[in-house]
Amino acid sequence: MPLIPKVGRKRFQTRLSLFSIGAFLWIGVLLHLFPVAWMISASLKPTTEIFEKPFNLIPEKPTTASYELLFTSVSGFLSTGADVFRYPMSVYLINSLIIAGLTVLLQIPITAMAAYAVSKLHAPRAARLLFFFFFGTLMVPGQIAIVPRFLLLSHFPWPTTAVPTVPFTDISLPSYSFIGTYWGIILPAAFSAFNFLLFKGFFDTLPTELIEAARMDGASEMMTLRKVMLPLARPVIAVTVYFAFTGAWNDFLGPWIILMSEQGMWPLSVVIYKLQWFLTSWQPTQGSMDPAAQRLISSGVGYNALMALAVIESIPIFLAFVIFREQLMKGIQISGLKG
Amino acid sequence: MTGRSISYKHLSAWLFTLPGLFVQFFFGWFPILFAFFVGFQQYYLVKPPEFVGTANFREVFSDPLVLTALWNTFYYAFLAIGLTFIIPIFVSILLMEMAARTIRIMMLLWFIPVASTAGIAIWKYMYNPTLGLMNGIPTLFGMERWGIKWLDDPSLAMISLVLPGLILFGPGLIYIAALQNVPEELYEAADLEGASFFRKIRLVTLPRLRPIIAMMLLFSIIGSMQVFELPFIMTGGGPGYATTTVVMYVYNLAFGAYNLGKATALAIVLFFIIMTLIIIQRRFFKENLDD
Amino acid sequence: MRRVVLLICSLCILLSCTQCARRDDAFTRRSEEKTLTPLDYTQLRDREQVKYKDVILRIPASWGGVLLPVDPGAYPTILDKVVHSGDLGTIMGLYNQALFELQHPRVRVEYIHFDMWSDTFRSTLAVALSARRAPAYYIARDLPQTIEQGLYADLTDLMKKWDQFHLQPEGSIREGTVNGRIYTLAGNEMGATIIRYRKDWFREAGIFNEFGEPGPRSVWTWDDFRRIAAKLTDPKRGRYGFAGEMGDFLYNAPHGLDLYVPDPTGQRTWKFNDADPELRRSLQAVREMANKERSANTSVSMGWFEWHNEFDAGRAGMIVSFAPHIPREFLENPHKFGKDKPYGETVGMATLPLGPAGLSGLRPITNPIGFDPTMSPEQLEAAFEWCKSYFYGDMFVNRMRTEAQIARVLNRRSTVYAEVLALPYKPKENLLEEPLEKVFPKDYLETYRRIRESHAPPLPREFGLKEPPTNEYNRAIRAMYSEAITSNADLEAIISKTASIINTTLLNFRGKDDREQMRRYIAARTAFYQKHYPRYYEQVWRDKVQKFYQVP
């Protein structure tokens, strides 16, 4: 509304410019929706159509065969499916939900508590130091930590390939391998510097008197946080939950490195990578031939299954966006990210 | 009484901080600091690691692929920021012109999210030389296919990687949220002075968006210098080495060749490059105009 | 405070000592006992049986084992599901498990999940080994570096005791031998990289082999291949003569082009072979096929899977494929191309084309298997016995019987024929109801005959020479070829760039006694060519050794 003045809305020139802006935006919307529509249409095609008539915009014989293939487990002797389909898609879907859900459940309280303490409870000097400690990693490229984090997770808490021993003996110190467990992905994501910034920005705007008043009533700090602060923070919580959820859902490199060998634990992002890898990049090396790949080649799976997977993977993200949209806008506005 | 309450307050303050402190220490700072140790080590699959001095760094600097990867990374960051960074900003500004109801619908449609690996898979399908739509669009109108080789052309491959960013993804919501906070009086005042459309964008909208643009730019520099999934899934670094980025090379060295030391040495080099960029960006693009 | 810490520490140490002592006890007691026969074992009580099984064998489900379905679905229990859904494969897996445990009373077999086919196989395996979670055996990949890194147990002694040792394909033995010690066991599906072609296209183009059937002659050359690819190409119908990655192996092996040769300066063991004119011809050939004749469809964003789909969709006349795949598909999916186009009359297989001097790139090979090096000798021996039984022994026979029965019930061809066609070992019993000649088309049998008769040249690793890391080396070579195909860059520029990358990052090492080893290696190559490819030896190899294989 603001750029084009309210007065003189009926003038032809104003109308034309409004119309052209609208047209531009709608074209953009169409362009944007096109890949999404293509994804859905391809997921409804039978495999033969994908390969023989690749450019049909609307499937000639729409079928849900690829979804059915994804949701039935084809393990066992009679199957011709690939390793990717050893588990029904519900297993992968649940894995994704577990990872994203636990990340949200852990990350939001931990981050909110830390932000609250830094904003309201700590003495100024400690708060300053802690603020940089918590938020500093956001300003640092995280790629440097890929290898050390892998080493750390493989023999927690010793970041090495060989666990140190108790001095002068052969007994190795206790260590735990997070490789091949959900915790290897969830724990590193249990605190988010970005969400910390959002929470801190919000708590800073709240007047200290609120806390004082609650304390006067004899409420403990936990009670104050739960009963006074959090109800006010609902929009911010919505934003942080949204970011935490989409972040965990979209994460690929983490699960890929940690859960590589545990197929039953893969989230959807890894499955989709693996399927497209089978479709497009898989090569036998040195005569070693994955029997599963041989079977996949025979089974006639194609891009329709891949696109069906993409649809399945996108639905929760889309739902989260639709549900949280209004809260998101409010949350962004009242938190530290405002303009 | 006061003494007790202060110590109680401190105790609970630290109790509140502790879980975050633990996670941020072990998974935030510790791996970053430890990288500077890993970079000087040689790792073996079954033996304990050895300290090898600067050997890893010497290998990194003598490796011709590192230069290629660095060049590719800069090229990608340049293209990604140059082509895709501005679009959500302008779309948001234009979107604000629409009626309130249209804004709500359009916002949904413009910024509709697709899961990240799913988005990459769609585009890989679109670029497929025989089955992909990018070459097949003309056939919809009964014409010959375009003979553009997209991902198979070394000079086009990187642009093809960036292209989906033009119409997919984009943190537009944040800009809209910021724009809704701009007081209307400012525009009305500008109207009274008879400012034109673009002048208003320049004088009113952009300065108001400046802090948030600065922040998003920072994230976008950090993010695009560390791009991994896009080339990893789309091209696997090819054709030739045309899309091998630094982080992809780090990944290949670490988990393909199991050369953890050299991989980390390369990561350290990239770390310093990105930090330099960040410092430059902070110097030239202050977040707050009032400072 | 200090005392408490000391106390706890000493307690811990004491505890762990007693633990060790107890384990030692159990070990000595067990070794004193006489080993039980299966009959003795069955007469033990439950608890004693459980106690007696002390050799644990973790069998990967993706190779040799089975896993029960993850959820019972509509059935009350998982076992119900297996029984009522007719999942005989799973039941056979359990049956074989029980049978093997009965034959070897001390062994307890556990089926586990282990993904051995992913890209980051090495780091996965390293973590699994250090956590003692690795399976007893797994595919041996990235040879020979993984052998040098100690990922596989030494099998030399077990191999020498084995009566079917010599039946392993020559290529597999060479792959897994380092400095005279053997580290891998050949799997039971012998194959080779071969050409899969469309018989109907060949008939249309009028190309027939010596049996009078459409297809290339069983002895054909690279030039034949290129000419046929051009002839089958028809842009109007969207047809390519060949689809696939234009990598090095199609051209290089039959032309005898090695991409690394001894470094004449003696600073390193190897150097990139950038001087050989054959390398230019190789790059030029693939470039022309892809861009000038347009007879080859090739792309970075397509893989084997899609080449096969291109082939099935009728857009490619020839593709590179893996030999065992075709006979199996022939039996499993006879109507893949429609009722009127039987598989055997549509899909043919031929060995790779030969070079001008008659050199062949055909390598008989199977999936090599490595064994967990952290296992005890008993475990290793049990794992080896398991493999023998699984590959051609009792378990193999059981599986094949089941497969034949299922096929009869479902009224389809049994895949036993394909298994037997590709089997390098001698099975315990004859499993075929009719001879292979009646089942398969002539070209399949002929190709397999040629695979079995082919020979693999010696590899540097057998003589203790270090080789460049396989994965990275292949990636560099693939990048060179893909650049030659996709860009217009000068070939010399591409070669010199690749040479600098490979020389500085992959070949920057020098072995200790590499000169002596190199001499032995080259002598072995010479002897190999003299024996199996005399024409190549006369015409090419003698000159080549003089020019490119000079040991300083």
What is the residue extent of each domain of chain C?
Answer: 38-138+373-420, 193-362+466-510
Backbone angles phi, psi at C186, to 5 degrees: -80, 135
Nearest to B97 among A4, A249, A309 (CB): A4
Tokens found for residue C51: 């106690």
C310-338 residue pLDDT tens:
888 888 999 988 888 899 889 888 888 88
> Is the Cβ pair A21, B222 closer than 8 Å?
no
Taking CB atoms and an 8 Å cutoff, what residues of chain A touch B231?
Answer: none
Size of interface A-C (CB pairs under 8 A): 150
Q: Which of C251, C258, C253, C199 minimizes the C-alpha distance to C225?
A: C251
**A99-105 average pLDDT score:** 95
**Cα distance between residue C263 and residue C265, in whole Å:** 6
Nearest to A160 among B5, B49, B271 (CB): B49
> Is the Cβ pair B271, A143 closer than 8 Å?
yes
> Is the Cβ pair C126, B258 closer than 8 Å?
yes
**Cα distance between residue C417 and residue C508, in whole Å:** 48
> Is the Cβ pair A180, C474 closer than 8 Å?
no
Interface mutation target, options B24, B255, B274, B281, chain A, most CBs of A under 10 Å: B24
B184-195 residue pLDDT tens:
787 778 777 777
Nearest to C470 among A161, A264, A286 (CB): A286
**Cα distance between residue B222 and residue B280, in whole Å:** 13
> Is the Cβ pair C69, A177 closer than 8 Å?
no
C47-84 residue pLDDT tens:
888 888 889 999 988 788 888 877 777 889 988 988 98
Q: What is the pLDDT at residue C236?
A: 85
- Let me know: does C525 contact C465? Beta carbons within 8 Å: no
Q: What is the pLDDT at residue C21?
A: 44
> Considering only alpha carbons, which residue of chain B is nearest residue C469?
B257
* C251/chain B closest Cα distance in angstroms: 19
Q: What is the pLDDT at residue C328?
A: 86
* B69/chain A closest Cα distance in angstroms: 15
Strands of the sheet with C316-322, listed across from one edge = C296-297, C240-243, C316-322, C193-198, C347-350
Taking CB atoms and an 8 Å cutoff, what residues of chain B touch A338?
Answer: 177-178, 181, 212
- Let me know: does C533 contact C350? Beta carbons within 8 Å: no
**C508-536 average pLDDT score:** 91
- Let me know: does C166 contact C285? Beta carbons within 8 Å: no
C446-481 residue pLDDT tens:
999 999 998 989 999 999 898 998 878 888 888 888
Nearest to B229 among A3, A51, A253 (CB): A253
Q: What is the dihedral of CA B98, B100, B105, B109, to 10 degrees?
A: 50
The ipTM assigned to this model is: 0.86
CB half-sphere exposure, B135, CA atoms < 13 A: 17
> Is the Cβ pair B45, C301 closer than 8 Å?
no
pLDDT grade, residue C16 (50/70/90)?
low
C492-515 residue pLDDT tens:
999 999 999 899 888 888 888 888
**Count of beta carbons in the 10 Å neighbourhood of residue C420:** 16
C266-304 residue pLDDT tens:
888 999 998 889 999 999 988 898 888 888 888 766 777
> Is the Cβ pair B91, A307 closer than 8 Å?
no
A259-289 residue pLDDT tens:
877 778 889 998 888 888 877 776 665 444 5
The sign of the CA dihedral B230, B236, B241, B245 is positive
Q: Which of C387, C480, C470, C507 minimizes the C-alpha distance to C121?
A: C470
Q: Which residues pair with C60 in a beta bridge?
A: C112
> Considering only alpha carbons, which residue of chain A is nearest residue C299?
A280
> Is the Cβ pair C118, A296 closer than 8 Å?
no
Superfamily of domain covering C193-362+466-510: Periplasmic binding protein-like II (3.40.190.10)
Q: Is C4 or C123 the better-scoring residue by pLDDT?
A: C123
**Cα distance between residue C343 and residue A298, in whole Å:** 13
* B161/chain C closest Cα distance in angstroms: 12
Nearest to B258 among C123, C310, C373 (CB): C123
Q: What is the pLDDT at residue A77?
A: 38
Q: What is the pLDDT at residue A292?
A: 57
**A40-52 average pLDDT score:** 83
Rounded to the nearest 5 percent, the helix, strand and coil shares of chain B are 75, 0, 25
Give the neighbours of chain C: at least 3 Cβ pairs within 8 Å: A, B
Q: In the predicted model, is pLDDT for residue C20 greater than 50?
A: no
* B177/chain C closest Cα distance in angstroms: 39
**Cα distance between residue B212 and residue B217, in whole Å:** 8
**Cα distance between residue A134 and residue B24, in whole Å:** 7
Q: What is the pLDDT at residue A297?
A: 57
- Let me know: does B278 contact A142? Beta carbons within 8 Å: no
What is the set of domains in chain B, with CATH numbers? 57-284 (1.10.3720.10)
**B86-112 average pLDDT score:** 80
Taking CB atoms and an 8 Å cutoff, what residues of chain C touch A283?
Answer: 245, 303-304
- Let me know: does C440 contact C417? Beta carbons within 8 Å: yes
Q: In the predicted model, is pLDDT for residue B48 greater than 60?
A: yes
Interface mutation target, options A147, A239, A318, chain B, most CBs of B under 10 Å: A147
Q: What is the pLDDT at residue A81?
A: 39
Nearest to A260 among C67, C120, C130 (CB): C120
Q: Is C351 or A177 the better-scoring residue by pLDDT?
A: C351
